[in-house]
Amino acid sequence: MCEPSANSNAPQLTNRDLQEFRVYRVRLEQFLHLILLHTKVKEGAEVPENVMRHGSKEFASTLQVATLGWLASLVDQNPSAMNVFKLWSRLFPWRQTEIEAVRTAIQPHLDTLKTFRDEVAFHANKSFARQVRAYEAVTTPELSQATDQFLQLCISLVREEDSIPALRREMAK
């Protein structure tokens, strides 16, 4: 992987790029928080006392739903949506090969993620059968592997943000 020096190879970013970066960064932080919470609760971390007497299994399921909904929002290819892959390509052009590899891994699951987001995570469909089908569709080893690849690239790119002066300045605001 080629990394830019602090100044010479940094991408020329527009105000629109920086605005998108701020929205992305907030959404990414939420996504990463949800993943960390899901992992801890799934491992049996203590959960709050609650009227339903739910334990870590039920809380982990809720966090998984939210995490996958956030993932769907980050990779949504609708022109008015985030589409993190386009943003990453502008912010980290020297990582294009890795970005494309993860995009290729996620691509076959976009419709599944969108359906899950729309029917389960954010806009609950009234049909329980449709919700179950959407949930089953996102709990496949293939999507899990693609999600892991996405997560690893996210973490790697967060670590590189400081190498881009414009992003450093934007985060300092």
DSSP codes joined into one string, the chain: -----SSTT-----HHHHHHHHHHHHHHHHHHHHHHHHHHHHTT------TT---HHHHHHHHHHHHHHHHHHHH--STTS--HHHHHHHH-GGGHHHHHHHHHHHGGGHHHHHHHIIIIISS--S-HHHHHHHHHHH-SHHHHHHHHHHHHHHHHHHHHGGGSHHHHHHHH-
- pLDDT of 123: 87
106 pLDDT more than 70: yes
The overall pTM is greater than 0.85: yes
Band (pLDDT 50/70/90 cuts) for residue 8 is: low
Cα–Cα distance, 82 to 70 (Å, whole number): 11
Band (pLDDT 50/70/90 cuts) for residue 95 is: very high
pLDDT tens per residue, range 22-76? 999 999 999 999 999 999 999 999 999 999 999 999 999 999 999 999 999 999 9
Average pLDDT over the chain, rounded to whole? 92
160 pLDDT more than 70: yes
- pLDDT of 5: 41
User: What's the whole-number mean pLDDT along residues 135-142?
Assistant: 94
- pLDDT of 48: 94
Band (pLDDT 50/70/90 cuts) for residue 1 is: very low
Cα–Cα distance, 23 to 120 (Å, whole number): 23
Structure tokens at 101: 């590899």
